Amino acid sequence: MGNLCSKSSNPSDPFAQPGRVLGTSPDSGPSSAPVPQKQTISRPAVKGGKTLGGSGSTSDQTVEPRNAAARAAEERAAKQNATANKGKLGSQLAAQKAKTQGRTLNELSQTERATRDVDAAETSRRWD
C-alpha cells in the first residue's frame, strides 16, 4: 500500500532506471576495499623464568591454587562438623549419620520381629 499512497515527490523507484548487462561492472564505487594497516603487538620482555620441577625461589606468600582449594575444603568440613553437633537434634543427626547400612537394617529387623511377636501374643489370647 505504500507505493499506492506515496507522493510523486518521493525518490524514484530504483528499478525505473535502465539496468546494465549481466557480466559488466557497475560504473560507480571503488573497485576494492582499502587494505587496513598492520598493527604491531608489543609483548612485555620476559625477565627470568620458572623451571618446572625445580625448587626455585618461591616465597611463602605464593600459594598454589590446588593447596588453597584443599585448605578451604578442610576449613568448610571442620566448620560444618562443629555446627552439626549442637543440641539434641544435632547429636541425633550425628548418630544417624554414623550408622552403617547393616546396623540400620538390623534395627529395622528387630523392630519387625517385636511387632510380629506382639501380634502372635494377641492372637493366642483371643484363641483364634
Express each pLDDT in 73-101 by its tens digit.
Answer: 999 988 887 765 578 888 888 888 888 99
* pLDDT for position 116: 97
- Tell me which of 6 and 107 has the higher pLDDT: 107
**Taking CA 27 as the corner, what is the angle to CA 24 and CA 31, rounded to the nearest 5 degrees?**
85
* pLDDT for position 61: 63
* pLDDT for position 109: 97
* pLDDT for position 22: 79
For residues 56 and 50, is the Cβ–Cβ distance under 8 A? yes
| Cα 54 from Cα 57, distance rounded (Å) | 9
pLDDT digits (tens, 9 = 90+) for 1-53: 556 666 666 666 767 777 777 777 766 665 678 888 888 877 777 777 776 77
Domain boundaries, the chain: 74-125
* pLDDT for position 75: 93
* pLDDT for position 26: 67
